[in-house]
Structure 1
Amino acid sequence: MITPPLAPDVLARYPGLEKLGRTATRLHPRPGAVAATDSHVGGPLLWPADEPWPTCVTPYMVQEEVPIPVELVARMRAAERGRRQSHILAEGEIELHQEIAALVGPGFVGWGSRGGGPVVGYRYVPRPHLTPNPMMALAQLRAQDVPDLPRPGGADLLQVLWCPFEHSAGPWGPTVELRWRREADLTDLLAEPPRGEVGTDGYVPRQCRLHPEQIVEYPYPEELPEGLRRLVDEQDEEGGDDDEDYVDTFMAPGWKVGGYADWSLTDPHPTPCPRCAGPTTLALVIDSSERGTGRWQPTRADGEPDHDPYEPTGVVVGRHGALRVFVCLSCPDVPFLLNQQ
């Protein structure tokens, strides 16, 4: 896969931006059979036979329905009819919402009905795994294939596993394990990993081959020096058919290793190491889609447009967002931090 280069005049609009460029490797996952010796999404791992397979013991979240008394529903409907404008709550509605939330209990996320059935309240509650749940292989990345892969302690292989249930610890979603290895040390391998239970289909990856491509991207606007940030704001305000959105132009979408983090949903916030509180490095972005449009629409090596699936891995994170893995390369055992956008 090949990303078309920037137009010659694009960087010239932002004097000084070029020196802030940082390489990242777009992984370009596409469905296909893979082997344990490959870099991939959703395939078998080079796993030592004498090393226990990781399991998850963190309680997962399940949705429960709590019946709401008919008279409380009637009071709520009556209050709604008293609105002067449909989007502005009537007097007493806030108190009724609070009454429903108290009735439903901890974990309350809303109320409603399905298919014309009775009105119920919804809440998420933790439930323990009956037994430790074997994690699922999500990805394997080899430094030989992925030039921007960090290499802590000389590692040249990263394996990512997760528990495919919703959890509330950290960002809402799967629990995650990382394994950094030296591929040359792996000789006696596990033939068949244990299989665990699955709670969310969107956390089960399709097997995908990777087509790594190293590109250059640039910082999120609010992480730019003040002068450049003002210039970006001015360009965005001017708009016009010939102007492209800064993020869409300078920050790669999809699965990638390295580069800069896109903070479009939450604005930037610190990502300190959970152990030493020092800075971390963006190691991996696990995205729900490749969103390869416009500037980032890749072409194949033969020059033809790439028309492979918009969501090749089948993985859906959060509300169709991305899970980012930040690692501390200064601490032993490479502690990591998860962030979801």
Structure 2
Amino acid sequence: MSTKAEQARPAVLLNPLEGDPTDADSHIGGPMLWPIDEPWPWCDGTAHDPKSGREPFVGAVQLYRRDFPELPFPDGTDLLQVFLCTLHHDVPHAYGPDVRLVWRDSAEVVELIEEEPQPSVQEELYVPTVNVLEPVRFSERATKVSGGTKIGGWTAWWGSEPVEFACPECGAAQRQTLSLATHEPSGDDVEWEFGDEGNLNVLTCPEDVRHPVSVHVG
């Protein structure tokens, strides 16, 4: 039988709203704080249509520790950057965009990249509009799961039964860290779409968030 602690988990709705953020802000779809001397993340194309080939990832979400201390930032980092390859990827549990997470120390970024690489082809349904964030913190119960874009909380299993994911590197049971939603409770949708109007759930290793992530789209 589940305990009360298992039934309630802290969560943060990101509550996106149309805005004009900078690379110094937490946001969805805005400019990323990326150093000029670090290679931009690219998708090698092995999991999507081979005709598309190698394409750059797109900056999707940027979250600073000062705004979202609930995130499991590794020591020495204060910024989480989420990138999507905005093409269909045919992998188990995650038919949709590929995901990359970058955890960094923002103070080490001195000179910014001049221009973010843009894909030559992409699926528009995976491209977000530009949004600032007005977070709402709450305690989420497994019996009443929010479908909005959020940190933590419970996974919204819209299209499948619950799935357990083990870390590919160490075998630890992964836990949802971030969920990107097709529809927001506020009605201010980001205009991306995952699965059958569901969520893209990113699960990380509790032992080390820099271990490979798992993604569930449903």
Q: TM-score, normalised by structure 1?
A: 0.59
TM superposition shift of 1:332: 7.2
Distance change (3 Å), C-alpha of 1:325 and 1:168: same
Alignment of 1:44-123 (within 5 A): 44-59=31-46, 61=48
- Whether 1:157 and 2:51 are equivalent positions in the alignment is no
Which of 100, 113, 117 is equivalent to 1:190? 113
TM superposition shift of 1:19: 7.4
Q: Distance in 2 between matches of 1:19 and 1:337?
A: 21
Distance change (3 Å), C-alpha of 1:324 and 1:169: same
Asked whether the 8 Å contact 1:59–1:128 carries over to 2, the reply is no
Cα deviation, 1:59-96, whole Å, max 9, x if unaligned, reads 465xxxxxxxxxxxxxxxxxxxxxxxxxxxxxxxxxxx
Unmatched 5+ residue regions in structure 1? 1-15, 62-125, 220-245, 293-305
Larger proportion of strand: 2
Which of 84, 87, 99 is equivalent to 1:176? 99
Q: Distance in 1 between matches of 2:86 and 2:189?
A: 18
Q: Specify the SS of the correspondent of 1:153.
A: coil
Cα deviation, 1:153-205, whole Å, max 9, x if unaligned, reads 34221101111111113411111111011222222221211111233111111
| Alignment match, 1:314 | 191
- Whether 1:340 and 2:204 are equivalent positions in the alignment is no
| Alignment match, 2:200 | 323
Q: Distance in 1 between matches of 2:71 and 2:194?
A: 22
- Whether 1:133 and 2:133 are equivalent positions in the alignment is no
Asked whether the 8 Å contact 2:87–2:126 carries over to 1, the reply is yes
TM superposition shift of 1:323: 0.6
Unmatched 5+ residue regions in structure 2? none
Alignment of 1:16-55 (within 5 A): 17=4, 20-55=7-42
| Alignment match, 1:280 | 174
Larger proportion of helix: 1
Cα deviation, 1:204-230, whole Å, max 9, x if unaligned, reads 1100011112111122xxxxxxxxxxx
Amino acid at match of 1:272: A
| Alignment match, 1:255 | 149
TM superposition shift of 1:264: 4.3
Which of 166, 181, 188 is equivalent to 2:88? 166
Q: Distance in 2 between matches of 1:163 and 1:30?
A: 23
Asked whether the 8 Å contact 1:59–1:129 carries over to 2, the reply is no
Cα deviation, 1:86-139, whole Å, max 9, x if unaligned, reads xxxxxxxxxxxxxxxxxxxxxxxxxxxxxxxxxxxxxxxx42434x21111111
Figure out how many residues of one structure are paired with residues of the other and give that number.
216
TM superposition shift of 1:320: 0.8
- Whether 1:266 and 2:157 are equivalent positions in the alignment is no
Q: Distance in 2 between matches of 1:153 and 1:147?
A: 12
Q: Specify the SS of the correspondent of 1:46.
A: coil
TM superposition shift of 1:318: 1.2
**Rg larger in structure:** 1
RMSD, aligned α-carbons: 2.1
Amino acid at match of 2:100: E
Q: Distance in 2 between matches of 1:332 and 1:20?
A: 23
Asked whether the 8 Å contact 2:44–2:55 carries over to 1, the reply is yes
Amino acid at match of 1:139: V
Amino acid at match of 1:180: W
